[in-house]
Amino acid sequence: MNFFDALIINFFNHFSRISWTADYTISFVSENQLIKGVILILIYWWAWFRADKNQTAIHRHIISTFLGCFIAMVLARGLALTLPFRLRPLHDATVHFLLPYGMRPGALEGWSSFPSDHAVLFYALSTGMFYISKKIGIFAVIYTTLLIGLPRIYLGLHYPTDIFGGAVVGVYIVFLCNSRAFIDKISTPILGWSRTNPEIFYPLFFLITYQIADMFVSSREFFGFFKSILHAMNI
């Protein structure tokens, strides 16, 4: 563990087990999808339907951002599987981490700590909001940092560099996906298709935003189940 991670982890861990209510509240915030993804997704739905003179441009950026979120999550999973495995703070005996009340010692055991999937996804969403409004973007970054990033450090699920690394991946991918070339070649045709086929686009749009709000948990479980069935059938 580097000096920066040690400094931040030890600082927050000093507050562990001082208050059962505080620990439980932080754990609840960290796990509750309504507080995490749903709030940010609701902002995107509001932005999609609000009356604005730049609405077409906003629609393109929203589509680009959601595509960027998907790409960033795939990249993050690839990095987690290919980079050297990193134990989470609560699993690393050398950290001497004092587990907060309500945390399971085996939480996320077997999953590499770097990069943070949460940081990748929610900083990606926050970056996309700057194309809607700078004020909303700033709010989203602060919201993501305080209610998504810091709780995961406090609970020992991630090192600060896990959060920072995930944020860099999410921000960079969404920035690329909102480039003029990407918008012209991919997002604009999708937007045009949405206007001619709204009965297909909006159910898909809902499904995609639901999966983003859910951290793709349902999709992961589905593909995990399908993979297990194929394995059982020796396929």
8 Å CB contact between 216 and 52 = no
CA distances to 45, 86, 92, 95 from 5, in Å? 36, 13, 13, 10
**Segment among 16-30, 101-115, 157-171 with least mean pLDDT:** 101-115
| Joined tokens for residue 71 | 């790409």
E strand or H helix at 51, and its extent? none
pLDDT surpassing 80 at residue 185: yes
Domains of the chain: 3-232 (1.20.144)
Instruction: Give the predicted TM-score (pTM) of the model.
Output: 0.91
pLDDT score for 230: 72
| Residue 114 pLDDT greater than 80, yes or no | yes
Q: Residues of 26-58 as b/e, b for ≥16 C-beta within 10 angstroms?
A: bbebbeeeeebbbebbebbeebbeeeeeeeeeb
Is the pLDDT assigned to residue 65 strictly greater than 90? yes
Q: Quote the pLDDT of residue 220.
A: 73
pLDDT (mean) for 132-140: 95
Q: Give SS3 for 1.
A: coil
Distance of alpha carbon 221 from the chain centroid: 17
Q: What's the confidence (pLDDT) of residue 235?
A: 62
Q: How far is CA 167 from CA 141, 153, 170, in A?
A: 10, 14, 5
Report the pLDDT value the prediction gives residue 234, as an integer from 0 to 100.
73
C-alpha count within 13 angstroms, C-beta hemisphere, residue 16: 22
What value does the mean pLDDT take over residues 32-50? 93
Please give the mean pLDDT across all residues of the chain: 92
Residue 165 has pLDDT above 80, yes or no: yes
When mean pLDDT is compared over 26-35, 131-140, 222-231, the highest value belongs to 131-140
Q: What is the mean pLDDT of residues 122-141?
A: 96
